[in-house]
């Protein structure tokens, strides 16, 4: 119950700082290692989501050097969703991001994007002003990837090599089709030529990075 109390309290920076000073981050991180008690492990993960919204807490989390454990817990489950939400925060810390990439975080998050399991699962956290935010497995994985691959060449290449461009392509197509349906009859949101390019399955060189540039599709 202590972790649940921490989670409920850690909704303002002033309270997060007090919790940090009293060792809340380290104790919640220790709960992640309790493989024989999944409820306790989950409680720790949920508390850390709210705690790590404060930069000082996120850095203390990173100091615990548990990136390998975090990556191993990624899966299309409620726990995996909570861990992805934590990774989103840690991805902003360079040294932690380096360790996670080395442990294969990009590939595990991409697997979550493509998974059809447990699509109904949602994990609820609170943003820095206390507003409840519900996040499903797909959204949590995508949000984590945004911070992990940002300005990180190796992570970007891993992202592309894992086939994630197919996911982005399908997502973009769904969004375009949805926007098209909202338009007046006869209005073309996207030209047929541009849409044909989106339909083309052939890889395209992005033109960046010189010879052997990133393939975007």
Q: What is the pLDDT of residues 38-58, one digit of tens each?
A: 999 999 999 999 999 899 999
Q: Are 125 and 135 in contact (CB under 8 A)?
A: yes
d(CA 120, CA 136): 7
d(CA 184, CA 36): 57
Is 38 in a helix, a strand, or coil?
Answer: helix
Mean pLDDT of the chain: 81
Of residues 13 and 123, more confidence is placed in 13
d(CA 63, CA 123): 25
Closest by CA to 144, choosing from 75, 78, 66, 83, is 83
- Residue linked to tokens 């090599």: 161
d(CA 57, CA 146): 20
Tokens of 118: 């447990």
Which residues make beta-bridge pairs with 205? Answer: 215
Of residues 21 and 212, more confidence is placed in 21
Tokens of 66: 């548990």
Instruction: Give the pLDDT confidence of 67-98 residue by residue, as tens digits.
Output: 999 999 999 999 999 999 999 999 999 999 99
Tokens of 126: 């609170």
Tokens of 54: 């404060």
d(CA 121, CA 66): 25
214 pLDDT tier (thresholds 50, 70, 90): very low
Within 10 A of 64 (CB to CB), how many other CB atoms are there?
15
Q: How far is CA 187 from CA 47, 177, 178, 180, 199, in A?
A: 48, 12, 13, 8, 20
């Amino acid at each position: 119950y202590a972790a649940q109390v921490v989670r409920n309290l850690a909704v303002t920076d002033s309270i997060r700082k007090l919790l940090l000073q009293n060792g809340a981050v380290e104790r919640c991180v220790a709960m992640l290692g309790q493989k024989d008690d999944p409820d306790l492990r989950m409680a720790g993960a949920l508390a850390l989501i709210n705690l790590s919204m404060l930069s000082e807490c996120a850095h203390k989390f990173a100091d615990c050097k548990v990136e390998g454990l975090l990556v191993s817990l990624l899966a299309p489950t409620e726990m995996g969703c909570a861990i992805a939400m934590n990774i989103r925060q840690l991805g902003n810390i360079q040294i932690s991001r380096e360790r996670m990439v080395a442990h294969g975080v990009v590939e595990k998050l991409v697997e979550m994007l493509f998974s059809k399991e447990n699509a109904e699962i949602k994990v609820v956290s609170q943003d820095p002003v206390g507003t409840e935010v519900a996040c499903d497995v797909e959204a949590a994985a995508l949000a984590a990837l945004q911070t992990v691959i940002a300005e990180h060449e190796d992570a970007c290449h891993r992202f592309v090599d894992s086939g994630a461009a197919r996911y982005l392509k399908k997502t973009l197509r769904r969004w375009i089709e949805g926007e098209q349906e909202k338009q007046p009859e006869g209005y073309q949101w996207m030209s047929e030529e541009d849409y044909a390019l989106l339909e083309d399955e052939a890889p395209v060189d992005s033109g960046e990075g010189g010879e052997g540039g990133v393939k975007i599709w």
